Chain A
Amino acid sequence: MTVRLSKPWRPFDHATVATLTGHLGVYELGNTAGDVLYIGAAGGRSRFGLKGQLMDRLAADLDGACCFRVEVNMAYHSRRIELLEIYLNDHGQLPIYNTDVDESRLGRVRPG
């Protein structure tokens, strides 16, 4: 099992997001350079799972976000934390749109 999210990037547009399912899981938004801008999760309270979450993100019109990738995962809670901790280890800071996460409460994962 790869620890980093290894799913392919897909265009972040209405037509592509509309093909998603309502499963729970994690997702990343990226820019044209493939940099991750946001790491999120569709959790147990999300109304339409990954599809609903990404529709909401589309509506938020995040500057620079042009692609996304998802991983269906029932352990979305610990998986999102893992992705955030790996990103923090790699970059020394969180993705620019993850202002919803308190960095001081995250731990350290160094996947090597």
Chain B
Amino acid sequence: MDLALTDEQRLIIDQVRRFVREEIIPLEDDLDPDADELPGEQFERLVAIVKDMGLYGLDTPPEYGGPDIDLVTRSLIAIECSQHRAGLYAPCYYTFGGARQAQLFEATEEQKQKYLYPMLRGEKRVFFGLSEPSGGSDPARAIQTRAVRDGDDWILNGTKLWISGADRADYGLLFARTGGPGRSGVTAFIVETDWPGFNIARIVHTLRSAKYATEIHIDNLRVPHANILGSEGGGFAIANDRLSRQRIPYAAECIGVAVKANEMAVAYSKIRETFGAALASRQGIQWMLVENEIDIRMMRWLVLDAAFRADQGESFRTESAIAKLQCAELASKVIDRSMQIHGGLGVAKDLPLERWFREMRIRRIGEGPSEVQKHVIARDILGAGLR
């Protein structure tokens, strides 16, 4: 693997870095520290700039009109885009667009017309409804939402928990049990949020400010058979490869936040004096900064390794699980140390560190908790026989 950046990669990164520093960060001075969106006119203005840069719709494959960007470059961009207060869960406030529900690429042409293309154009918002009160780590076994065939329709009943942004979504994917226990009993349905029987019961308030979670009550929701995504009982088989690919830039976003937190810690340690000397002169502080540096380099290596393998067409499931696991764990440590170096200021809403600290904690649970990533890695090490 060649770690040297190409001229093109360097150019793109410089451009994105400038965009974040000159366009995004100054806006945050006037926003609430927990804000997750920009005022409409600012958003439109910045989307136009991103489109001019040729980077709109980053996760959209070129055959659907997205920029032709390999996963290594995509990950490098993700590292830049998250380097601001809202950057972990609302990188650049979504001004780069992107394919939020990659599974929809597996839709039929008719479904694509109705659901995929409007999402890619940024006209419609979409949710992903897998987790339930009965559990999210092992949804194949935990899903209790039931779908029963009724002529050309299915009738769905159940509860979904933790579903991000469903209150503002136009439609989304809802996984329900159409057969027996296990994976093959689960089907993915595309459901519209204004259909009778689809109710957002509440917002689930968590440590995360951006993309808050919701609880959905599904009460005799009638869904046309034509809205099954993939095949009946094939809910889990859909787009596993796409999900693993997405996990890599998702991990890269943790690096961006860690880089910024560390940058702040280095700068602060040089200007803050205690007991007559700068913090930076103390070995106790130096070691924290050294550990930050090592962790950041490790994260970067793991993410780029996974991305490189994916770009080469090699298997990358284990590598993406390792990257996701380690980035969430190590970035949490980097932020924690950076907060410590800032003292009281580190935990105040004056600085972004407290938001990163809260939101990074969720990174160790969402999109497959750390233990589940280890489970995936262990399965690959030990072979298919292991459950």
Contact = CB atoms under 8 A, between A and B. Distances in A.
Instruction: Note whether A and B form a binding pair.
Output: yes
Interface of A: 3, 43-45, 73, 75-79, 81-82, 85, 102, 105-112
Which of B33, B168, B203, B205 has the largest count of A CB atoms less than 10 A from its CB?
B203
B193 interface: yes
B167 A44 contact: no
Given A85-B167, A107-B167, A77 B203 contact: no
Interface string B23-58: 000000000111111001000000000000000000
Contacts of A3: 201-202
A77 B32 contact: yes
Interface string B160-193: 0000011111000000000000000000000001
Nearest to B33: A44
Contacts of A110: 199-201
A73 B206 CA distance: 11
B206 A43 contact: no
Given A106-B168, A107-B200, A110-B200, 8 more contacts: A44-B349, A78-B212, A107-B169, A109-B202, A110-B199, A111-B201, A112-B199, A112-B217
Contact of B202 (A44, A73, A76, A82): A82
Given A85-B167, A106-B168, A107-B168, A77 B36 contact: yes
Nearest to B354: A44
B227 interface: no
Nearest to A46: B32
B209 interface: yes
Nearest to A86: B202
Given A3-B201, A111-B201, A105 B37 contact: yes
Given A43-B32, A77-B209, A105 B199 contact: no
A43 B33 contact: yes
Interface of B: 32-37, 40, 165-169, 193-194, 199-203, 205-206, 209, 212, 214, 217, 349
Contacts of B202: 3, 82, 109, 111
A75 B205 contact: yes
Given A44-B349, A110-B199, A77 B40 contact: no
Nearest to A79: B205
Nearest to B210: A77
B40 A102 contact: yes
Contacts of A85: 167, 200, 203
B272 to A, nearest CB: 23
Please list the 9 inter-chain residue pairs (A to B) with the smallest Cβ-Cβ separation, ordered nearest first.
Answer: A107-B167, A107-B168, A44-B349, A75-B205, A44-B33, A77-B34, A78-B212, A82-B203, A43-B32
A25 to B, nearest CB: 12
Contact of A109 (B37, B194, B200): B200
Which of B205, B206, B209, B212 has the largest count of A CB atoms less than 10 A from its CB?
B205
A78 B204 CA distance: 8
Nearest to B209: A77
A108 B194 CA distance: 9
A107 B165 CA distance: 9
Nearest to A4: B202
Nearest to B206: A75
B94 to A, nearest CB: 13
Contacts of A108: 167, 193-194, 200
Nearest to B355: A44
A44 B199 contact: no
A4 B205 CA distance: 14
16 contacts: A44-B349, A75-B209, A77-B34, A78-B209, A78-B212, A79-B203, A81-B212, A82-B203, A85-B167, A107-B166, A107-B168, A108-B194, A108-B200, A109-B201, A110-B201, A112-B199
A85 to B, nearest CB: 6
A26 B212 CA distance: 17
